[in-house]
Chains A and B, each alone.
Chain A
C-alpha cells in the first residue's frame, strides 16, 4: 500500500465517519462538526491523491482546490453556527424538531 492510497482511504474513512455522526446525532453543533469532519476527509482525498511529477514536485491544482474548499467550509460553518443560535433562540433547543412533534 502506497502512502497516497493510505491517505485516500483515511480520507474516505473520515467522510463515512462524519456521515454517520451527521445522521445519528440530534444536536445541531454535533451535526455541524460532522460536516467539518466530512469536509476534512474530502480534502485529504484531494491532497493525498495529488499526482507528482518525475522530480517529485506535487501537482499544485488539488492544493488550490483544497484551499478554496477550506474557505467555503469556513463560510458555511459560520452561517450554520449563527443559524443554530437563532434556532436555539426561537425554539429553546439546538436541535431540529421531529416532523410529528410539530
Chain B
C-alpha cells in the first residue's frame, strides 16, 4: 500500500507542485517570487527522486484516482519522459533564478510572470507524463495559452503582435491535433496510447489522423516552412520568456510527435518519414542562413532555434533501419539544445540590459565589460555548433552514425553543413563583441545572478558531452525507442 501511495505522489508531484505554486503565486502576488523559486526547487527535487525507482522498477503507469484506461486518464513515465522532466526542471530552475533578478526593477511584470511561468511548467510536465491523446490535447492548450500570455507581458507593439500571431498558430495547431484525436477515437474506441498501439491499422482514418496530428504538431514545433511565427515571438519576449519558449516549449510538441510516431504511426507511415526529414534538412540550411544575415542578436538566436529544430526532425528518416541510435541522437540534441539555447537567450538579455539594444554590430567591447556573459555565449555556441566535448556534439555524432551506418550520405552532409553554418553565426557575434563600436553607449549594471546563471547553463551544455553514458542510460529506461515497444503495465 505504502509503495503504491508513494508511487502515486512520485508521478503526480511534477504536475501538482508547479500547479499549486502557480495558484499561490496568483493569489499572493507580493510573495510571487519566493513562491515561484520554492516550487521550482521542489520540482527539481521531486523529479530527481523519481529516477532511482525508475531504474529499479522500470517504467511506471499510474491510473489516476483508480480509474484505469480506457475510461480514466493514465500517467506513464519511462526514460524518455523522465529525461524530458529532468531537462525541464534543470532549465526551469535556471530561468527562475534569472527571472527573480530580471524582474526586480519591474515588480508588476514579475507578478504577472510567476503564475504563468509555473502554469507553463505544469503543462509541460503533464505533457511528458500523459498516456492519453485527449489529455495531451488539454496539456498542449495550457502550454500554448500560458506561453502566449508570457510573450505578451513584455508589453510594446512588437511583443503584442508577436504574441497574437503565436496564439493564432498555436490554436490552429491544437485544433488540427484535436480533429485527429476525434478520428482516432471513432476508429478505435480509445484515446489511451498503449491501447491504440494494439488496435491501430493502416487504413484511411489512421492516415487522416496522422496527417492532421503531425501537421498540427509541426506547426507548434515551428518546423520549416511553418516556422514563420517563431522568430518574431521568441525575439520580442522578455529574456527569461524567450529562453523558456526556445528551450522548452517547442520541445513539448516535438516530444509528443516522437511519442506518437514511435508508438502509433511509425510503422504505417512509409514515405512521410522522408518528407519530415527533408523539411528538417531545409530548416537546418534556411534557419542557419537566416541567422547569419540577422542584425539583431535575439533574432539571430531565434533563427538558430529554427535550424536546431530541423536537426531533430532528421531522426525520423534515419530511425528507419537504425532505430534507437537516431532517436537517442535527436533527444540528446534536444536536451543539450535546451541548456545551450537558454544560456544564449539569457546572455542576450544581459547584453540588452547592459547596452539597451541588441544590435550585433554595435556590441561595444562587451568581452572586456561582461566577460562572464560572453564566455557563456561562446560555450553555448560550442554546443550549438556541435564541437567536442559538448552535448551538441554527442547528439550530432549519434545522428551522423545513424546516417553513415546506412550509407545515407545526403543526410550526413546536411548535418555537417549545418554545423559549419552555426560556427559562422556564433563567431560573427563573438567577433563583434571584441571590437569597439562607433556608437558607444551608457552601460547599465547587470546583476551578478543573471550572468552566473547563463554561465552555469552553458557549462552544463558542455558537460553533457563529458557525461554521456548516464543520460543515455536514463533515456533507455523502458526501451522507449524499441521497434516493438514493450509497455509494462503495473
Contact surface of A with B, Cβ cutoff 8 Å: 8, 15, 19, 22, 28, 31, 35, 38-39, 41-42, 45-46, 49, 51, 61-62, 65, 68-69, 72, 75-76, 79-80, 83-84, 86-87, 90-91, 96-97
Contacts and interface: CB of A to CB of B under 8 A. Distances in A.
A76 B157 contact: no
Interface stretch (B145-153, B307-315, B409-417, B422-430): B145-153
B167 A91 contact: no
Nearest to A77: B171
B157 A31 contact: no
A62 B156 CA distance: 41
B168 A38 contact: no
Given A68-B138, A91-B161, A42 B167 contact: no
Given A79-B145, A96-B164, A61 B175 contact: no
A83 B138 CA distance: 21
B interface majority secondary structure: helix
Given A22-B172, A39-B175, A83 B185 contact: no
A42 B163 contact: no
A97 B161 contact: yes
A76 B141 contact: yes
B9 to A, nearest CB: 25
Given A75-B145, A83-B152, A97-B161, A69 B178 contact: yes
B168 A49 contact: no
Contacts of B472: none
B161 A35 contact: no
Contacts of A76: 141, 145, 167, 171
25 contacts: A8-B186, A19-B172, A28-B164, A35-B172, A35-B175, A39-B175, A41-B179, A42-B175, A45-B182, A49-B185, A49-B186, A65-B182, A69-B178, A72-B141, A75-B145, A76-B167, A83-B167, A84-B164, A87-B157, A91-B157, A91-B160, A96-B161, A96-B164, A96-B165, A97-B161
B371 interface: no
B189 interface: yes
Interface residues of B, number: 29
A90 B156 contact: yes
B134 interface: yes
A9 to B, nearest CB: 13
B160 A46 contact: no
Given A28-B164, A65-B185, A79-B149, 7 more contacts: A45-B183, A61-B71, A76-B171, A79-B145, A80-B164, A87-B157, A90-B160
Contact of A46 (B141, B152, B182): B182
B158 to A, nearest CB: 8
Interface string B23-43: 000000000000000000000
Contacts of B182: 42, 45-46, 49, 62, 65
Contacts of B141: 72, 75-76
B151 to A, nearest CB: 10
A90 B157 CA distance: 5
A80 to B, nearest CB: 6
Interface in B238-296: none
B185 A35 contact: no
Contact of A42 (B148, B149, B165, B179): B179
Contacts of A84: 164
B234 to A, nearest CB: 16
Contacts of A86: 152, 160
A80 B171 contact: yes
B178 A42 contact: yes
Nearest to A84: B164
A37 to B, nearest CB: 10
A26 B156 CA distance: 21
A39 to B, nearest CB: 6
Contacts of B185: 46, 49, 61-62, 65
A35 B369 CA distance: 49
B164 A83 contact: yes
A53 B156 CA distance: 55
Given A51-B189, A90-B160, A38 B175 contact: yes
Contacts of A8: 186
A53 to B, nearest CB: 12
B183 to A, nearest CB: 8
Nearest to B157: A90
B303 to A, nearest CB: 14
A76 B149 CA distance: 11
Contacts of A45: 179, 182-183, 186
Nearest to A51: B189
A83 B71 contact: no
A72 B167 CA distance: 13
A28 B189 CA distance: 37
Contacts of B161: 87, 90-91, 96-97
A19 B145 CA distance: 20
A22 B160 CA distance: 19
A96 B167 CA distance: 12
